Amino acid sequence: MGSIEKFKLIKVNYENGSAISSSILAEYNFKRMETTR
């Protein structure tokens, strides 16, 4: 496996991870807003 392929794989994993974490964060903030209302 070349270093370019590894870099692409890491980039995809990083983008997927950040998207998942941001959606979890948004869900958490939404739930918190629901309870404070």
Domain limits, the chain: 1-37
Q: How many CA atoms lie within 13 A of 36 on its CB side?
A: 6
Report the first-to-last Cα separation within the chain, whole angstroms.
53
Element (H, E) at 17: helix 3-36
Tell me the two tokens of residue 6: 């590894």
Residue 6 C-alpha from the chain's centroid: 20
Convert the pLDDT of each residue in 1-37 to its tens digit.
588 888 888 888 888 888 888 888 899 999 988 887 7
Distance (Å, rounded) from C-alpha 1 to C-alpha 35? 50
Per-residue model confidence (pLDDT) at position 1? 59
pTM of full prediction above 0.75: no
